[in-house]
Amino acid sequence: MHDAVAAKKCTGESGRSQFLTSTIGTAERLLLPNVAMPRKHTRSPLFILSHMRSYSSVLSHVLGSHPQIDGYCETHLRYRFSFDLLRLKWRVRKLTGEPLRGRYVLDKILHNYAVATAILENPRTRGIILLRQPVDVVQSIVHMGRHLDLNEQNSNVANATQYYVAAVVARKAGKPKISALQFQLSGSSQDSFCGPPEPLPPESLNMDLREALGAAPGGFRRSARCKGLHLIAGECDSFHLYWNHVAAELDWWRL
């Protein structure tokens, strides 16, 4: 998407304020240059592409208070065709009860349905990509499902994790394959962590694993160009993530 702004949550109250101030300031510089709007113009869609529990409601209301932006909330529309942009304008007029006056029409997209390629690649489309750390998101969704808005689906950690992955990945038309790995936070099994996971650094796949493992892992291809990921979780043996070319999914091996 053209001119998309990537935002990442900061922790703590001061960090939250700094995060919103930085995101809003960047959006204004990109979207709202200090020039007069022509009398006749075509309004452009402005999407906040995010997920639940990301402070997207706060950002939507702040942006929606600007006179050049119409809309302030999620319309729950699916954008399968370019025609759906006309539905967006109609829905925003209905929600606000006022005619459109600004240069941009705002919508917040939190669902995991794909957005039509014709819309994403339109040079008039503007977007703010708003992401929050996955652990914080899953914890917040589960807390909401168990204590605030009681929902059995949201109270399940696995469901919340799948929602987050789908919401982040499935934005462009088509059906991207979502591959997720599950590990145990503690225990003595081969897939268990023995400490908190650290950031994932890339690692070379240009290695012969037959000597270390006795045989190459299923679907593993040695490559001087491609990279894998190195997952360290405590003082025990780390995990090595790679793409399984036979199963067509993410996989791992460990000593």
Q: What is the pTM of this model?
A: 0.61
Q: How far apart are CA 162 and CA 134, in angstroms?
A: 11
* pLDDT tens digits along 55-74: 999 999 999 999 999 999 99
Question: What's residue 24's pLDDT?
Answer: 57
Residue count of the chain, please give it: 255
Q: How does the average pLDDT of the chain come out, rounded?
A: 83
Rounded to the nearest angstrom, the gap between the alpha carbon of residue 101 and the centroid of all alpha carbons in its chain is: 30
CA neighbor of 20 nearest in space, from 8, 32, 30: 8
* pLDDT tens digits along 132-166: 988 899 999 999 999 888 888 888 888 888 888 88
Question: What's residue 248's pLDDT?
Answer: 87
Q: How far apart are CA 130 and CA 6, in angstroms?
A: 6
Give strand pairing partners of 242.
251
> Is the confidence at residue 52, as pLDDT, over 80?
yes
- Radius of gyration of the CA atoms of the chain, in A: 22
Which DSSP letter does residue 201 get?
Answer: -
> Is the confidence at residue 3, as pLDDT, over 50?
no
* pLDDT tens digits along 87-109: 999 999 999 999 999 999 999 99
